[in-house]
């Protein structure tokens, strides 16, 4: 582990004041369930007893969402024991305070679905491909990997620079590249745009569509071509990919 990393992750929840520890289960998702349902739910296994692992689970927001949706065989890992303790107290099950790569080495072919939400950007570039190899090896044939990362192509101050522990920047094209390099198939990268859930969010969504449309127009005028991956400007992007069934 890098020199600063152990110290950083041991106190990660303390040095991120914008994300306070939830004290009630109703505070755990804090509106994130709408995001999970719109962007992640369509890629989840149909079988509710599918083996699912969430790497870097933090307070267990995604795991709690999965449990609430009826998934019974979930597990989460994180290096921050304080966050895991809070998650456990709020009813999130099967949590492990362990390094992700170390855990994956012990789980070859065990999982149907693995998620890593806001994780890959913390891994140095020279270690990232090996980490994705471990994810690939931990999946069963036909299993899926889902990730979310900050987008360096965001048109305002990128989230990447808002956390000292971020090591590897991503754009939609580079995320697509690295997932393909790790031998995943059916790779899809998509923007994490605003989710409509009320009048104010409708206004935000309309403005967001107008602004991104303008940016794509400028990009097309300058470059002469329109590449959907190059034209993703949201603060965060997600990718989903599959381990081939015949692997």
Q: Which residues pair with 239 in a beta bridge?
A: 147, 189
**What is the span of the domain harbouring residue 104?**
5-193+229-242
On whether residue 62 sits in a domain, the answer given is: yes
Question: Per the domain annotation, does 188 fall within a domain?
Answer: yes
Element at 51 (helix H, strand E):
none
Q: What is the pLDDT of residues 47-66, one digit of tens each?
A: 999 999 999 999 999 999 99
Residue 45 inside a domain? The answer is: yes
- DSSP secondary structure of 139-206: EEEEEEEEEEEE-TT-SSS-GGGG-TT------HHHHHHHHHHTT-EEEEEEE-PPPP-SHHHHHHHH
- Residue 195: predicted pLDDT: 86
| Inter-CA distances, 239 with 182, 204, 211, Å | 13, 24, 23
Give the pLDDT confidence score for residue 109 in this predicted structure.
97
| Mean pLDDT for all residues in the chain | 89
Banded model confidence at residue 14, pLDDT cuts 50, 70, 90: low
pLDDT in tens, 168-212: 999 999 999 999 999 999 999 999 988 888 888 788 888 878 888
Domain-located, residue 61: yes
Does residue 220 form part of some domain?
no
Q: Provide the CATH number for the domain around residue 177.
A: 3.40.50.150
Q: Is residue 219 one of the residues assigned to a domain?
A: no
- 79 inside domain: yes
* pLDDT of the residue at 156: 74
64 within some domain: yes
Q: What is the number of domains present in the chain?
A: 1
Give residue 212's pLDDT: 82
pLDDT computed for residue 184 by the predictor = 98
pLDDT of 118 > 60? The answer is yes
Mean pLDDT of all residues in 104-126: 96
């Amino acid at each position: 582990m890098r020199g600063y990393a152990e110290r950083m992750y041991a106190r990660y929840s303390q040095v991120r004041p914008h994300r306070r520890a939830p004290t009630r289960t109703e505070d755990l998702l804090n509106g994130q369930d709408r995001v999970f349902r719109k962007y992640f739910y369509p890629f989840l296994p149909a079988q509710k007893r599918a083996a699912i692992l969430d790497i870097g689970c933090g307070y267990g927001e995604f795991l709690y969402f999965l449990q609430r949706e009826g998934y019974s065989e979930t597990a989460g890992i994180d290096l921050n024991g304080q966050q895991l303790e809070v998650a456990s107290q709020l009813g999130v099950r099967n949590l492990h305070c362990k390094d992700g790569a170390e855990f994956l080495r012990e789980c070859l072919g065990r999982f149907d679905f693995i998620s890593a939400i806001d994780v890959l950007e913390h891994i140095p570039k020279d270690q990232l491909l090996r980490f994705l190899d471990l994810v690939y090896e931990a999946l069963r044939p036909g299993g899926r990997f889902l990730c979310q990362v900050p987008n360096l192509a965001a048109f305002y101050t990128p989230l990447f620079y808002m956390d000292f522990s971020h090591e590897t920047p991503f754009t939609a094209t580079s995320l697509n590249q690295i997932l393909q390099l790790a031998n995943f198939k059916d790779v899809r990268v998509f923007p994490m745009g605003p989710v409509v859930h009320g009048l104010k969010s409708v206004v935000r969504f309309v403005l967001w569509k107008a602004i991104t449309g303008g940016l794509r127009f400028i990009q097309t005028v300058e470059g002469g071509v329109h590449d959907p991956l190059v034209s993703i400007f949201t603060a965060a992007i997600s990718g989903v990919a599959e381990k081939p069934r015949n692997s």
